[in-house]
Amino acid sequence: MTQHDTHDIVRTSCIAATTATLAATGLLAITADGMFRFAIDTRSKNSIFRRNLIAPDRNEKMNMGEAKEAGEWFEQAKQPVRIVSSDGLRMHGWLFDPDCAAPLPHAYAICVHGYTGAPAEMAKWAHRYARLGFTVLTPAQRGHELSEGRYVGMGWLERNDLLDWIRLIVASDPDARILLYGGSMGASTVMNTVGDPRLPRNVVAGIAESGYSSARDEFIDMAHSMFHLPRLAAAMCVDAAGLICRKRAGYDFTEASCVKSLKHAVVPMLFIHGGGDRMVSPRFLAMNYNACSSIDRERLLVPGADHMESSDVAPDAYWHKVECFIRRTFGLQ
């Protein structure tokens, strides 16, 4: 073989390797763009927000047992409330008066719903807190129900919105004492908010149920379970989609980290998760609990409970834990 032949072979190999790399890079870019449109862009025709893929039995669950009774109360008692977010979006929510004979003075609870959900899903929790004497607010997260917003922030952009809602309450009642409750992505909104240095002292405690540790971790799990991608490939796609998200929506999936935020939390926190959660891994319970810097923190794992079903699987243990936590942190009898 001549030196010329060797050079030709090397050149051909380099061209083939470069072509394969470019093809793989192009495929990764296409996949990442599709993932971003699917998971974050509510206006995309391929968005998950146009499909019934997350909690397809959601409506059925909202019409069973305590949830049905609470849903009827929700529809009868709700009062509209609106704000403009710090980035100029019109945000909508529902306000509820206390549903008891002796309302608590200056006591408020904000209940934050999850991914692709709506405030009405918080009816069961809102009604419980209203019966305890709280004035309750259930905001629609950006891009959900009646609130504006094209891109979902996975609890990171939404922390700014929750701070805006808190400021609304404090502006109307400077002595307000506020409980934050969030479920699923709403839990991540709460966890990111309690770790924000701008959090007003009016926030007394937080409850995070079925929350993930970070948007990155949750999307890797989702890509693995929904699209059957190996975890390494899932991580590569999620990281590439995160770069697209930073350019278009203004944040990266690694930035939307509850674990990082909780390291700055000081208010009492209660973390809840179902041991059989197939949507948000139960492993995140320990991750979030251990990351929380608050010296007053509790956790509850309900064996066998699927996503946001802990109160259905073990109602006595669940509500005993929640109500004892609230009564203790708010100094109630």
Bridge-based pairing of strands 297-302 and 269-274 is parallel
Sheet strands (E) in 7-127: 79-84, 90-96, 107-112
pLDDT of residue 333: 72
Q: What is the pLDDT of residue 53?
A: 62
Nearby residues of 43 by Cβ (< 8 Å), 6 or more positions away? 150
Query: At residue 156, does pLDDT exceed 80?
Result: yes
What is the model's pLDDT at position 61?
Answer: 73
pLDDT the model gives residue 2: 57
Average pLDDT over residues 284-312: 97
| The pLDDT of residue 7 | 45
DSSP string, 106-146: TEEEEEE--TT--GGGGHHHHHHHHHTT-EEEEEPPTTSTT
What's the pTM value of the predicted model, to 2 decimals? 0.91
Average pLDDT of span 247-253:
97
Q: What is the mean pLDDT of the chain?
A: 91
Q: What is the pLDDT of residue 291?
A: 98
| Residue 107 or residue 46, greater confidence | 107
What would the DSSP string read from start to end of 259-292?
Answer: HHHHTT--S-EEEEEETT-SSS-THHHHHHHHH-
**2-16, 29-43, 89-103, 227-241: lowest mean pLDDT where?**
2-16
Please determine, for residue 15, whether its predicted confidence score (pLDDT) is greater than 50. Answer: no
| The pLDDT value given to residue 14 | 36
> Which amino acid appears at position 269 of this protein?
M
Read off the pLDDT band of 97 (50, 70, 90).
Answer: very high
Domain ranges, ordered by start, for the chain: 56-214+256-330
Q: What is the pLDDT of residue 129?
A: 98
In this structure, of 51-60, 109-118, 125-134, 309-318, the range with the lowest mean pLDDT score is 51-60
What is the DSSP secondary-structure string of 153-208? Answer: -TTSHHHHHHHHHHHHHHHH-TT-EEEEEEETHHHHHHHHHHT-TT--TTEEEEEE
For 230-244, write each residue's pLDDT tens digit: 999 999 999 999 999
pLDDT computed for residue 52 by the predictor:
65
Burial of 167 (0-12, 13-18, 19+ CB in 10 A): middle
Does residue 191 or residue 65 have the better pLDDT? 191
CATH class of 56-214+256-330: alpha beta
Q: What is the mean pLDDT of residues 292-321?
A: 97
134 vs 8, higher pLDDT: 134
DSSP 45: T
